[in-house]
Structure 1
Amino acid sequence: MNGFVKGEVDPAFRAVREVFESSFADGRNAGAALAVFVDGQAVVDLWGGVADARANRPWERDTPVVTFSCTKALTATAALAVAHDRGIGWDEPVTTWWPEYGAAGKESTTLADLLAHRAGLPAFDRPVSVEEAADPAAMAALLAAQEPIWSPGAEHGYHALTFGWLVGEFVRRHTESTVGDYVRRHFGAELWIGAPPHIAQRSARTAFPPAREMAWADPGPIDADTVTRMAAAYRDPGSLAMRASTNPVGSYNKPEVLAGGWPASGLVATARALARFYSDLVSGTLLPTAVLRDAVREQVRGPDSVLLLESAFGLGYMLPCENFILPGPARSSAFGHPGAGGALGLGDLDNRVAIAFTPNLRRDWLSGDRRAHDLVAATYSAL
């Protein structure tokens, strides 16, 4: 099994490698990468498995993969950096920089509302094509004209896809560049929100395990009634959870989707690049530490109007909750964002830790998947 996983680990983190290797041995991973930084130094840099099962293409050191909602942390950081640079407060009305957004009762919405999933626009009110989704100005115009589902600020609910175009519009209007361009210029050249053809070509292909392994059989800390309601919502194409997460519709294995630069879900990156982003973030390189501490302060916590379980957010970053389950040692100070099917980006200001896990086999922790959780636990045990 040692020959199946490649890369390096600091001797103190040998147990992390063992956990990573075991996830291939028991079939939980097909292909994946893991990177950990502590105090700015790389202590874990591992990869292994198959990047594309159809072509039997192995996962290489530089294999990137789409990380789904891990993207939101980068988009949020871009907005926070621009706001800090321009002296713009989180609580200023959106209409001060986006006048059109005041339509349909949204005039009181703030940037903090957009970042904390309180905007009331978790889903588009009409089908959106992949071609439209590649045009951030068009997506912003749709959202500006739309009536909110709840009064802005009154509730919170996961804006699975709309988050990117809402928060991204702040970046676009103040920098005249897309989120993807801003991120690559300021955060890292190997963080692609809008992957060019040569990057899409060597990206890992995402896949799902057999249906029997996707059943929600292990609710863990979530009560059974909530799991039942969630299961029903994800079987109903008209539910808010499905409308929020499936429009626009497009396979993330398609180059045109990866090229589209979806700023809530389209980040293509290696684990190393994503972990380095969090390392730079917690070191104060990307944001002043005081700004970051303010941004990871809890804005909302409780039943999520879209996901139906407990969620918790700072200003764009997800905090430990039922939708972001972390081991005990990480719960008090970690923040970041998980991605659909198991991906994870995590930072910790107090412990100076940055972790990224990027798999291509899309599992769900409600079906017993604990890959990222176990890797985070092993990392904290080694500190």
Structure 2
Amino acid sequence: MSGGAHGQVDPAFQQVREVFEAHLEIGAAVAVFQAGRPVVDLWGGVADSRTGRPWERDTAVVTYSCAKAVTTAAALDVAHRHGVGWDEPVTTWWPEFGAAGKSATTLADLLTHRAGLPAFDRPVSAAKAADPVAMAALLAEQTPVWEPGTRHGYHALTFGWLVAEFVRRHTNSTIGEYVARHFGAELRFGAAPDMARVESPPAEQRRWTDPGPIGADTVARMARAYRDPGSLALRASTNPFGSYNKPEVVAGGWPATGLITTARGLARFYSDLVGGAILPPGLLTAAIGEQVRGTDAVLLLESAFGLGFVLPSENMILPAAARPTAFGHPGAGGALGLGDIDHHLAIAFAPNLRRDWLAGDRRAHDLVTAVYDAL
């Protein structure tokens, strides 16, 4: 534990502070909004253990795939503003995408990880990944791994450039530009001042030892896949490769993984989302309706998606109280953004120490439990 927490907590949510402090390693922040009102805003620890620089109120950190929810909301907002249906073929707005048997692919296929393009078929550098036009061109010419629309498999990195291309072609804006203009400057796709340095635990703490509700057979399949350089699981998550401690990766604004923000900023996004300030309520309700569920062709565990948002499943394990109504997106290493329309609730957890659920990480899970216990 790296010292106590700073910030404010509504007395009804005091247990959240206790859980946060009990789990505080290196540095982190947690924020909760209920009915649009901030009820938890906590931070603590250090932003960089090399220098001892403290985690301050406005310290931002990369939240990895929590970015996908923000990119999704941007695409849904653009679709609403421009009257584009998500079941229309992608080729109506991106003609080049029809190459190599992809002509029937829809925006819904892109949002639900059914496009069949979970990994690039050639090495991609961090420098090239900073060029959204070039990245979209690579995906447009690529042959899908499966017939689009017939399976779902997590597009860990490619999701961002596929969905961001919809935004770019309708607005001439990158995801970072569109989000800053419409959702707020605290949600950055690019460098943030004095952002936290990402850190990893010792090797012995990264072993998969505690699968919890995920079956042993599934864990064994996943372990084999992550040892196989040719597996979709590894290829989807490591190409392009780059550390978010590297300036060229941070500056690239990767739209699937490059959201750099505070927990407060991410929770405020979900608060605005569930409150109807970002999308019309009917559109959000449709977007969080289950589109696909089952064994993920890439992750090899159960995943479930609405239109871009992750639903409770083995890919986003939530306490029982949250499962019927919560939606959101986890990020690699333990980050989480969550919304709940029925409870008028928004939660975000943003750490700089990367841990894994299968190695015993329960920080976000326990914080969500404490929040629901307080309702």
TM value normalised by structure 2: 0.99
Residue 79 of structure 2, aligned match among 80, 83, 100: 83
Aligned partner of 1:302: which letter?
A: G
- 1:126 and 2:119 aligned: no
Shift of 1:3: 6.2
Residue 139 of structure 2, aligned match among 131, 143, 153: 143
Distance 1:256 1:191 in 2: 19
Deviations 1:156-177 (A, max 9, x none): 0000000000000000000000
Distance 1:194 1:314 in 2: 27
Aligned partner of 2:340: which letter?
A: D
Deviations 1:126-150 (A, max 9, x none): 0001111001000000000000000
Shift of 1:222: 1.1
Distance 1:256 1:63 in 2: 20
Deviations 1:228-254 (A, max 9, x none): 110111112221101000000111111
Aligned partner of 1:325: which letter?
A: I
Distance 1:223 1:375 in 2: 24
Shift of 1:13: 0.3
Summarize the alignment of residues 234-253 of structure 1 with structure 2, pairs less than 5 Å apart. 234-253=226-245
Deviations 1:55-94 (A, max 9, x none): 1111011100000000000000000000011111010000
Residue 301 of structure 2, aligned match among 304, 309, 320: 309
**1:19 equivalent in structure 2:** 19
Unaligned runs of 5+ in 1: none
Summarize the alignment of residues 156-175 of structure 1 with structure 2, pairs less than 5 Å apart. 156-175=152-171
Aligned partner of 2:220: which letter?
A: T
Aligned partner of 2:342: which letter?
A: D
Distance 2:228 2:5 in 1: 40
**1:288 equivalent in structure 2:** 280
**1:109 equivalent in structure 2:** 105
Shift of 1:185: 0.6
Shift of 1:2: 11
- 1:322 and 2:318 aligned: no
Residue 69 of structure 1, aligned match among 53, 65, 70: 65
Deviations 1:298-330 (A, max 9, x none): 010000000000000000000000010000111
Distance 1:252 1:369 in 2: 21
Aligned partner of 2:72: which letter?
A: A
**1:370 equivalent in structure 2:** 362
Summarize the alignment of residues 267-286 of structure 1 with structure 2, pairs less than 5 Å apart. 267-286=259-278
Deviations 1:153-208 (A, max 9, x none): 0000000000000000000000000011000110111111122xxx2x51111111
Inter-CA distance 367–317: structure 2 relative to 1 (3 Å threshold): same
**2:349 equivalent in structure 1:** 357
**1:50 equivalent in structure 2:** 46
Aligned partner of 2:217: which letter?
A: D
**1:179 equivalent in structure 2:** 175
**2:340 equivalent in structure 1:** 348
**1:154 equivalent in structure 2:** 150
Aligned partner of 2:326: which letter?
A: A
Aligned partner of 2:114: which letter?
A: R
Distance 1:75 1:115 in 2: 10
Distance 2:97 2:296 in 1: 24
Distance 1:377 1:188 in 2: 28
Shift of 1:32: 0.2
**1:94 equivalent in structure 2:** 90
Contact 2:228 2:234 in 1 (8 A): yes
Q: Secondary structure at the match of 2:349?
A: strand
Aligned partner of 1:351: which letter?
A: H
Shift of 1:4: 2.2
Distance 1:16 1:82 in 2: 36
**1:206 equivalent in structure 2:** 198
Distance 1:106 1:261 in 2: 26
Unaligned runs of 5+ in 2: none
Distance 1:302 1:30 in 2: 35
Deviations 1:271-311 (A, max 9, x none): 00000000000000000000000000001000000000000
Distance 2:324 2:6 in 1: 32
**2:4 equivalent in structure 1:** 4
**1:40 equivalent in structure 2:** 36
**Percent of aligned pairs sharing the same letter:** 73
Distance 2:39 2:221 in 1: 41
Distance 1:333 1:112 in 2: 21
**2:56 equivalent in structure 1:** 60
TM value normalised by structure 1: 0.97
Inter-CA distance 245–2: structure 2 relative to 1 (3 Å threshold): closer
Regions of 4+ moved over 6 Å: none
Distance 1:218 1:321 in 2: 17
Aligned partner of 2:334: which letter?
A: G
